[in-house]
């Protein structure tokens, strides 16, 4: 006998429980960042390595779209590519992250050429892109639901940088400010698609595993950066 579909409220609660337990806001590196305990070299390493994740997001989103046969869902998801890439040069989340890098004292060239990219970060991010390419599109959408927890994280991060890292030029904080609002809208959109199209118990269970996997990707990135930053 097939297992019953969880009601939407119960499914939502299960998704939120995964993020509550496993989101990377609890990682020691992130806690140290918010407490103002990181040296400039550690902040720069985080910014340079996180850039590889940022520049990979539109590739991941394009993979989801390429697997999706439903026009309405593709239209909903399409804006994420231009949100990251921008409608023109100098716009979008990737450009905003490059400005953050420059505000931290890194050059655009050294961030773009990946000279600071750690192998563990590259592996984690590449695994996320491959996941989006190879899994059913609603399951790949569910992996994005770490965004449910991003607005609070971004607000806390912005406050921490302003308070503790005065050497970072404040014009670099545009990405954080933008994502507080953007992540809230994106997470509502992603949750709506997940609840609608993860419409079997098997897909619901895959969605929970997908969200846990994405949490592991983010956690592994910080593990790698923290290990590199320690004397």
Q: What is the CATH number of the domain that holds 73?
A: 1.20.910.10
**pLDDT by residue (tens digit) across 15-54?**
999 999 999 999 999 999 999 999 999 999 999 999 999 9
Query: Greatest CA separation found in the chain?
Result: 62
Q: What is the pTM of this model?
A: 0.95
Domain that holds residue 141: 8-229
In a domain, 3, yes or no: no
| Residue 93 backbone dihedrals phi, psi, to 5 degrees | -65, -35
**Residue 172 within a domain:** yes
**Least trusted range by pLDDT, from 53-57, 63-67, 153-157, 178-182:** 178-182
Domain assignment present for 99: yes
Q: What is the pLDDT of residues 217-228, one digit of tens each?
A: 999 999 999 999
Residues in the chain, how many?
Answer: 231
Domain count, the chain: 1
What percent of the chain is predicted at pLDDT more than 90?
90
Give the separation between CA 101 and CA 107, rounded to whole angstroms: 7
Count of alpha carbons within 13 Å of 169, Cβ hemisphere only? 11
**Whole-angstrom distance, CA of residue 194 vs CA of residue 142:** 6
């Amino acid at each position: 006998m097939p297992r019953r579909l969880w009601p939407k409220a119960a499914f939502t609660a299960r998704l939120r429980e995964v993020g509550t337990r496993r989101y990377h806001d609890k990682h020691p590196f992130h806690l140290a960042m918010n407490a103002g305990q990181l040296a400039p070299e550690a902040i720069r390493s985080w910014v340079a390595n996180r850039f590889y994740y940022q520049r990979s997001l539109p590739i991941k989103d394009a993979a989801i779209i390429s697997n999706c046969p439903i026009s309405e869902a593709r239209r909903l998801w399409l804006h994420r590519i231009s949100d990251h890439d921008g409608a023109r040069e100098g716009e979008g989340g990737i450009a905003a992250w490059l400005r953050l890098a420059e505000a931290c004292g890194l050059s655009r060239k050294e961030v773009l050429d990946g000279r600071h990219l750690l192998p563990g970060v590259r592996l984690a991010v590449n695994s996320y892109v491959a996941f989006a390419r190879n899994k059913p599109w609603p399951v790949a959408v569910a992996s994005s639901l770490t965004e449910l927890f991003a607005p609070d994280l971004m607000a806390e991060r912005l406050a921490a940088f302003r308070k503790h890292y005065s050497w970072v030029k404040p014009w670099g904080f545009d990405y954080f400010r933008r994502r507080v609002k953007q992540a809230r809208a994106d997470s509502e959109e992603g949750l709506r698609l997940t609840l609608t199209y993860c419409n079997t118990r098997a897909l619901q269970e895959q969605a929970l595993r997908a969200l846990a996997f994405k949490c592991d990707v983010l956690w592994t990135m910080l593990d790698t950066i923290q290990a590199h930053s320690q004397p």
